[in-house]
Amino acid sequence: MRPRLRALLSIVALLSVLVTLVLAFPRVAAFTELAARELRYFWWLILIVALAAWLIWGVGRGSKR
């Protein structure tokens, strides 16, 4: 598979997952919209996304010895 096609397929898959999550959890989508409007809630959203990224990619790697 070509790298460009693979990148396109991964972007399409990511967008479809995001659309599915927004349709499945409309209250989360409303919270995200509120967070984008209200800056005092926005830093919580950034913190939650950063924690999720750390849990997905950081946990379980161990030290590189």
- The per-residue pLDDT for range 6-58, each reduced to its tens digit, is 989 999 999 999 899 889 998 988 887 887 787 676 777 788 889 998 888 87
**29 domain-assigned:** yes
| Structural domain for 42, as ranges | 3-55
Q: How far is CA 5 from CA 1, 14, 15, 16, 18, in A?
A: 7, 14, 15, 16, 20
**61 domain-assigned:** no
User: What is the predicted pLDDT for the residue at 38?
Assistant: 78
Write out pLDDT tens, residues 15-25. 999 899 889 99
**38 domain-assigned:** yes
**42 domain-assigned:** yes
**41 domain-assigned:** yes
Q: How many domains does the chain have?
A: 1
Contact between 21 and 28 under an 8 Å Cβ cutoff? The reply is yes
**pTM for this predicted structure:** 0.48
